[in-house]
């Protein structure tokens, strides 16, 4: 503290795709989780907390007006924008269970998409908006499932590896990038939706939050190097790797790549 002022500990940072020109758009004393770009490139949804680190809330940060809007305040996580920018898929923890819901931003209506005793989380929309993929432990360990945006039964997609989680689509909808656990450690993998084949791109390490670039040529993810959290980009064929962002102090986590519209 400085007098009665609380020193910010968490920041939401926007930077160029090469890691330069980084700017802090939000500073707070409570955690900032799961930032997600709106398709228009002007807004960011994220999970924020009160000063006592309770009361998870979905916020939208407008980068042009520098204003933010509170959307949903309850046990909530993992916001994901629909391709038309009108809806958010979120995980809500109700009745002691985690399920995927769709939140209509204009009407503020919630529609439940999954209903299962397992934990359903980390939803991501297909580029055409017809399906969502999500992580679920309904088979015992985390695996990737797909469900129609209109609802209905969920289909398990992944079976290769002990665990698969945190999946998101490539821009053409033909691939999913995800975190996969083949042995003891986690790696970044690309899953081909039609053939159901999984290609490993990275060596085993602490990895999280992989995301495709808007043209599908690169994949960005967070990992640790030299004891610090950094952002790394790897080509979608796994041949080229480059560290693109690290902080002088603290950790860098949960990257999200904006659309070309920004």
pLDDT at 51: 56
Which pLDDT score, from 0 to 100, does residue 3 have?
45
Tens-level pLDDT at each residue, the chain (262 residues): 444 454 558 899 998 888 888 889 888 888 899 999 999 999 999 999 865 555 689 999 999 988 989 998 888 999 999 999 999 999 999 888 999 999 999 999 999 999 999 999 999 999 999 999 999 999 999 999 999 999 999 999 999 889 999 999 999 999 999 999 998 889 999 999 999 999 999 988 889 999 999 999 999 999 988 778 889 999 998 888 888 777 666 788 899 998 765 4
How far is residue 217 from each of residues 20, 75, 124, 170, 180, measured CA to CA in Å?
19, 35, 19, 9, 20
**Cα distance from N-terminal residue to C-terminal residue, the chain:** 36
Q: Report the SS3 class of residue 205.
A: strand
Nearest to 197 by CA among 216, 175, 213, 218: 175
């Amino acid at each position: 503290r400085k007098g009665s002022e609380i020193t910010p500990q968490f920041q939401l940072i926007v930077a160029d795709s090469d890691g330069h020109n980084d700017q802090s758009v939000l500073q707070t004393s409570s955690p900032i989780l799961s930032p997600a770009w709106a398709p228009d490139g002007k807004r960011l949804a994220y999970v924020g907390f009160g000063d006592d680190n309770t009361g998870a809330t979905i916020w939208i940060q407008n980068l042009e007006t520098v204003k933010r809007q509170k959307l949903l305040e309850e046990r909530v996580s993992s916001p994901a924008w629909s391709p038309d920018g009108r809806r958010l898929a979120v995980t809500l923890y109700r009745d002691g269970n985690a399920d995927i819901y769709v939140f209509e931003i204009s009407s503020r209506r919630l529609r439940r998409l999954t209903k299962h005793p397992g934990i359903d989380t980390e939803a991501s929309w297909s580029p055409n908006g017809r399906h969502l993929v999500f992580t679920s432990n309904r088979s015992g360990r985390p695996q990737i499932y797909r469900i129609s945006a209109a609802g209905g039964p969920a289909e398990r997609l992944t079976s290769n590896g002990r665990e698969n989680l945190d999946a998101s689509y490539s821009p053409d909808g033909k691939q999913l990038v995800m975190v996969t656990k083949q042995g003891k450690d986690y790696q970044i993998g690309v899953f081909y939706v039609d053939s159901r084949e999984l290609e490993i791109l990275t060596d085993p390490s602490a990895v999280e939050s992989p995301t495709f670039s808007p043209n599908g040529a690169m994949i960005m993810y967070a990992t640790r190097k030299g004891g610090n959290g950094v952002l790394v980009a790897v080509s979608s064929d796994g041949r080229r790797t480059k560290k693109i962002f690290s902080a002088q102090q603290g950790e860098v986590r949960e990257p999200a790549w904006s659309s070309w519209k920004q």
